[in-house]
Amino acid sequence: MALNHFTRVLPLSLAVALASCAGNGEHKDPATPKADILAANADTTVNPAEDFFAFAEGGWLKANKIPDEESSWGIANLVNEELYKRKLTINEEAAKTAGSNRTSEQLANFWAAAMDTAKIEADGMKPLQPVLDKINSAQNLEQLMDVAAYMHKIGVGVFFSEGVGQDEKNSELMSYQLYQGGLGLPNRDYYFKTDERTAKIRNAYPAYIRSIFMLKGDDSATANAKAESVFKLETAMAKASRTIEALRDPYANYNKMDIGRLSSTAPGVAWQRVFTGIGLPKVDTVIVGQPEFYKQLSMLLKTTPIGTLKDYMSFHLINDFASYMDSKLVNTKFDFYGKTIRGAKQMRPRWKRVLDAEEQAIGEILGQLFVKEYFNAQAKKRYEDMTEAVRAAYKKRMENLTWMSDSTRKKALNKLAGMTKKVGYPDKWKDFSSLQIGKNSFAENMMKANEWWNNYSISKLGKPVDRTEWDMTPQTYNAYYNPSNNEIVLPAGIFTVPGFRDEELDDALVYGYAAASTIGHEITHGFDDQGRQFDEKGNLHNWWSKEDEAQFNKRAEVLANQFSNMVVIDTLRINGKATLGENLADLGGILIGLDAFKESKAYKENKTIAGYTPMQRFFLGYALGWLYMQRDEELATRLLTDVHSPAKYRVNGPFPNVPEFYKAFNIPAGSKMFLPDSARVALW
């Protein structure tokens, strides 16, 4: 189940890792200064008043292209290219010292099994056969759900999604939560949207299912019949699933009930038995995100032939592990998910794909070795201090709001003051000593890692919440706000500018790149359309007056409407309601990051660098954080599945609402980047 975090997720599918905040790029001769990255990326033939993104990044966009193995390319990839090499070195060094400590042995074994292509090809479907046998041996629905429970343990979320997480209405309690899930296409809209791009993907999906069954050993006619039945079942599940925007309502997606009520909502399934199979002790209550989905699922489980249910489970097992299997399965999955859906032309090299899998399975083990080599305490302090400067700027803005009442303001300020910051890396690491990673099988190691994470999650049920825990590795180019902990988590990697050491970056750039687009963004998530519904202790309850809530919604709706009117590709528009939280966080981050920057020495000295004033470099620095180009297929996919707007619009969208932007770049009335005062968002 997806964590209830509001993250600065980048417009990429991979989780991109960090380069050292103090050691990016090669150490060149100091007598040969590096070119200024902001000036180098700019295209001065473009009028910033017409398309600021093209002005700020057009030089880079013209000089680069998306590699065939990628569906998009940008800043995170540039960081990751440096990191891949460093993580490869860590794995190679681990192999040399594998006998000396447990950490090195786990990394070495994982790498050896994943890179042993000869054995992987010889094994074929062998790693999955024990689970396929379990599916085939089930004689009735109860036995089949026993197998489904086991599949959840090893990371295959058939039929539904589930997991242990903080109770949104009692943040001190870890609760068991059920959500909609079990689909093979990215989300429910892919089963029903009628635009040409989505229809093309939907029409290709049954053929992909058919190809998986043929690789499993079925003849063409049998595989075709199975594919049609599985697709029909998933379509019925999708029909009962909520849309991406409906999933953003925390109250509507919080339905606590005891097991008896769950059984009456979704009868015919021995739910406690399923939970026990997943590894849970006796469960008294669960939080069901979408009860209507479980009602429909119950009906489908009772009325669908058991053979079709088995085929559905077999397909999802193979599909989920195909990337770790022989080349036929790897290529078949890539052709559909990589090429058809995402628009990539070829796969990444194997060693990079293995590092991505390692990050998913045992990334924190890798992180322990990584921070020893590549993290700098001076950089950590810089961003801790910057976080406090941004917090202070937000406090001042809140104190001066004219539309917010004193009672709501007091609570908002308490929440802001109580927000925990985590910068760089965790103070304590998870203990992976019980995880058995061998050299026998790539797929088996992924199953074992998934089961370890399942057991780790389940072990939290009924225990005090560990508020020190991180849900990202330190080498991650990402960040998040966790409403249940009222915390912002800022891994060291999110501050990285590829090719530069941290001390080489001027404050104006860093305030835009880090203080605005990351620190301010995450802090603002605590007060966006979702985050504002959680109090200072992380509990979901309405602490706003009706008048203040109405004012917030009225002002936020202006931003939602702005983005809903943006056509990105073909006739596809941004979903302003689904992306509202991220768009609010972008705009809020810019405003409070800018306020904090105005208190800095760099702003007050007002020295130009590479021809740009500090204020101009702030806006250019922010734009650098969204340096991306994307294939049309990727853009279309993101518009349907992502709560983040495409990169270009995360720049061109919020800037016209910022008064200082107009002065910094002389934006005249009538230009494309201009909005009259009456049309601008007046929230924070």
- Rounded distance, CA 237 to CA 316, Å? 14
Report which of 308, 306, 317, 318 is spatially closest to residue 143, judged by C-alpha positions: 306
CB atoms within 10 A of CB 350: 13
Q: How far is CA 249 from CA 24, 212, 540, 642, in A?
A: 40, 36, 11, 16
**pLDDT at position 17, please?**
27
Q: What is the pLDDT of residues 476-501, one digit of tens each?
A: 999 999 999 999 999 988 998 988 88
- pLDDT at position 414 is 97
Q: In sequence order, what DSSP letters do the residues of 221-268 get, joined into one string?
A: HHHHHHHHHHHHHHHHHHHTSPPTTGGG-TTTT--EEEHHHHHHHSTT
Q: Is the pLDDT of residue 513 over 80?
A: yes
Among the ranges given (27-41, 367-381, 459-473), the one the predictor scored with the smallest mean pLDDT: 27-41
> Could you read off the pLDDT of 160-211 as tens digits, one per residue?
999 999 999 999 999 999 999 999 999 999 999 999 999 999 999 999 999 9
Q: Residue written as tokens 């008896």?
A: 260
Q: What is the pLDDT of residues 536-548, one digit of tens each?
A: 999 999 999 999 9
**What pLDDT is stored for residue 96 in this prediction?**
87
Would you give the DSSP letter of residue 281? -
* pLDDT (average), residues 261-271: 97
- Judged on CB neighbours under 10 Å (0-12, 13-18, 19+), 254 is middle
> What separation in angstroms does the CA of 322 have from each of 15, 333, 439?
19, 7, 18
pLDDT over 70, % of the chain: 95
Burial call 535-554: b when 16+ CB within 10 Å, e when fewer: bbebbbeebbeeebeebbee
Q: Which amino acid appears at position 158 of this protein?
A: V
Is the confidence at residue 236, as pLDDT, over 80? Answer: yes
Tokens of 391: 């917090």
Q: pLDDT of 197-227, one tens digit each?
A: 999 999 999 999 999 999 999 999 999 999 9
Tell me what pLDDT residue 23 has: 34
Could you give the residue ranges of the DSSP H alpha helices within 8-156?
37-41, 52-63, 75-96, 102-115, 117-123, 129-137, 141-153
Q: Which pTM value belongs to this model?
A: 0.88
| CA distances in angstroms from 417 to 388, 480, 490, listed in the order given | 10, 18, 17
pLDDT band at 635 (very low <50, low <70, confident <90, very high): very high
User: Quick one: tokens of 519?
Assistant: 């620190």
Tell me what pLDDT residue 32 has.
61
Contacts of 630 (CB under 8 A, 6+ apart): 11, 66, 71, 72, 638, 646, 647
6, pLDDT greater than 60: no
Q: What is the pLDDT of residue 12?
A: 28
The CATH architecture of the domain made up of 125-324 is Orthogonal Bundle (1.10)
Q: In sequence order, what are the residues at sequence separation of 6 or more whose Cβ sits closer than 8 angstroms to the Cβ of residue 288?
A: 177, 178, 255, 256, 257, 262, 265, 294
Is 451 in contact with 434 (CB distance < 8 Å)? no
429 alpha carbon, distance to own chain's centre: 22
Q: Which tens digit of pLDDT belongs to each residue from 115-138?
A: 999 999 999 999 999 999 999 999
**Residues in CB range of 557: below 8 A, 6 or more apart:** none
Measure the N-to-C terminal CA separation of the chain; round to a whole number of Å: 32
**What type of residue is 382?**
R
Domain-wise residue ranges, the chain: 6-43+51-64+377-425+470-679, 125-324
Q: Do the first three CATH levels of 6-43+51-64+377-425+470-679 and 125-324 match, i.e. the same topology?
A: no
One of 3.40.390.10, 1.10.150.120, 3.60.90.10, 3.90.1150.10 is the CATH number of 6-43+51-64+377-425+470-679, namely 3.40.390.10
CB 225 within 8 A of CB 209: no
